[in-house]
Structure 1
């Protein structure tokens, strides 16, 4: 019975994500091969006044590849996502290109742009959300 309880406790403690609170913690985790998850709460970030309405929206991104630039103090990752469900282009095949940049001042920027699926030409202007780590953006391992 004790073995069963210890096994359950071990599995339960491994199922919780550990939040990273600073750029240095994120850099150390990524530099040692750990996967991170970036959570963005759009309503807690700043964006241009013409930003899309995102008041109740959040997104999570788990990058597979990241670039660490210690000389300039940032970690960057990008994502190209194919969809037919973009609200501005319903039914039209498009790519949504997003770049996540974690900066050494403990901020995170998320830039997004919609591209034509055939020509890759921009269909929208780039929109950038700027977030503070621990409020608008959270990072977990």
Structure 2
């Protein structure tokens, strides 16, 4: 019985539950102490910079591996896709920048780039999200 209990305790990860970070200072502290953060955006709960942009009924999660901290927290990613709704079937890159401000807002700015030469092929657009509503950060 003791062996079974020991085996069960070894199989249950002790740090697998992600904790939600509720404000800029908690996020900054987590980053500077070496924790990995995860940014979850519920686009339906954010405001779009361009009123013509349909807010998708989707949630995106990003785990940054490089973060800059000044008076705000910034990270970005560039990814290749054939599924951009504005350019169906066309090979494009999407450059996405995340900015977390000390007033607990998360801004996501997206720029679509040509996959051949990296030139912008659309206007930038942004989603502005309130932390704990449209955006959640976990460590």
Q: Same fold (TM over 0.5)?
A: yes
1:126 alignment partner in structure 2: 124
Tell me the distance in 2 between the aligned counterparts of 1:43 and 1:64: 26
Provide structure 2 residue ranges, at least 5 long, that are not aligned to the other structure: none
> What's the C-alpha RMSD, in Å, of the aligned pairs?
1.4
The count of residues paired between Structure 1 and Structure 2 equals 135
Tell me the distance in 1 between the aligned counterparts of 2:40 and 2:121: 26
Provide structure 1 residue ranges, at least 5 long, that are not aligned to the other structure: none
Tell me the distance in 1 between the aligned counterparts of 2:85 and 2:8: 48
The runs of 4+ residues in structure 1 deviating greater than 2 Å are 4-8
2:52 alignment partner in structure 1: 50
Name the TM-score, length of structure 2 as normaliser: 0.90
Cα separation, partners in 2 of 1:26 and 1:101, compared to 1, 3 Å: same
Name the TM-score, length of structure 1 as normaliser: 0.89
How far 1:53 sits from its partner (Å)?
Answer: 3.5
1:16 alignment partner in structure 2: 17
Tell me the distance in 2 between the aligned counterparts of 1:136 and 1:85: 23
* 1:34-73 correspondence runs (5 A): 34-47=35-48, 48-54=50-56, 56-69=57-70, 73=71
1:94 aligned to which of 92, 95, 110 = 92
How far 1:81 sits from its partner (Å)?
Answer: 0.6
Query: Does 1:2 find its partner at 2:5?
Result: yes
